[in-house]
Amino acid sequence: MTPPAAVVLVFLDPTFPQGRLVDASEPALMATDQGATRGDGIFESMLSTAGSVRKIEAHLDRLESSATALELTVPGQDAWRQAIATALAAYRSSHPADAGAEDQQVVKLIATRGPDGASSPTAWVQVSAVPAKGRHQRESGVDVVLLDRGYPSDVAERAPWLLMGAKTLSYAVNMAAIRHAHHLGADDVIFVSSDGMVLEGPTASVLLAHHETADDGTLVKRLITPQLDSGILPGTSQGALFTAVRAEGWELGYGPLVPQDLLDADAVWLISSIRGLTPVNRIDGQEIGTPALRGQLTSELTSIYSGIQ
């Protein structure tokens, strides 16, 4: 019996209202497509659980925001939703979840400027399994290094053509940063601006927490993320978690943050849609907080995050 395809691809096509399902083992993208030749395109990565995509509206809104930044016309949200449904149905029918296993998939939305001279973009949905590495890091935590991104924190306002804050296909630098971290014996990276401000990870937003007792004996829990106007990608997971923890009585903050703020925190996390809330054990070799408190806070926030749809 032929094993099911590891990836399902559905192209958005005006002649196929539900999306055009293609054989992922066959050529589907033209070699002259500007997404492949120039990285001229955008994408979103989402997590589907039991056939339902988490935070889908936030992801579709961010896709449109990225498209606006690139002056790229992309299909409307209804077309994306229909193609997503087609792709998920095809993948889940050929990959039934084992008993007791998580019924989760990675759903990617990709849109490029198309081949040279094209009048319309190339757009497709890709569905695949959740990488085991992400699950492991979520459970065991990661060690990170701080790397200079090479831009000041106000670059997004001064140089909009750099597309800071847009989720583009041009991820070569991000992947190079992670490889450099591996060469240094670490798992991941937190970028710092050239003027010393904490930014984000190559594929995740940064969070830190303080767990304190006020003078009147009240327990204060504070969750902080870098300033969103510092040229970072607005994280859908960070935004959703902030909304959820506010309802649980947490205080919230938006930087500015410097590296010492990370080292002084009771806990630090990288958070993204696929990997989820991933605790940072050490930064540049220095342990963050204590394992007990880091674990306690991670457990509490993970419980809150798991309830977000």
125: CB partners within 8 A, 6+ apart = 9, 10, 12, 19, 80, 83, 84, 86, 87, 107, 108, 109, 110
- CB 34: neighbour CB atoms within 10 A? 20
Q: Which two tokens stand for residue 24?
A: 């992922």
Kindly state the tokens that stand for 294: 């880091």
Cis peptide before 256 (omega within 30 of 0): yes
User: Three-state SS for 292?
Assistant: helix
Tokens coding 291: 């394992």
What pLDDT is attached to residue 229?
A: 87
Compute the distance between CA of residue 45 and CA of residue 53 in angstroms, rounded to an integer: 10
Angle separating helix axes 236-247 and 56-69, nearest 10 degrees: 140
Tokens describing residue 249 = 């009585």
Question: pLDDT for 111-143, tens place per residue?
Answer: 999 998 888 999 999 999 999 898 899 999 999
Collapsing DSSP to helix, strand or coil, 47 comes out as: strand
All structural domains of the chain, each given as residue ranges with its CATH number in brackets, are 8-130 (3.30.470.10), 136-306 (3.20.10.10)
At 264, phi and psi to the nearest 5? -90, -5
Radius of gyration of the chain (CA): 20
Q: What pLDDT does 1 receive?
A: 43
Low-confidence ranges of the chain (pLDDT < 50): 1
Q: What is the pTM of this model?
A: 0.92
**Strands (DSSP E) found in 81-226:** 104-112, 122-129, 142-148, 188-192, 205-213, 219-225
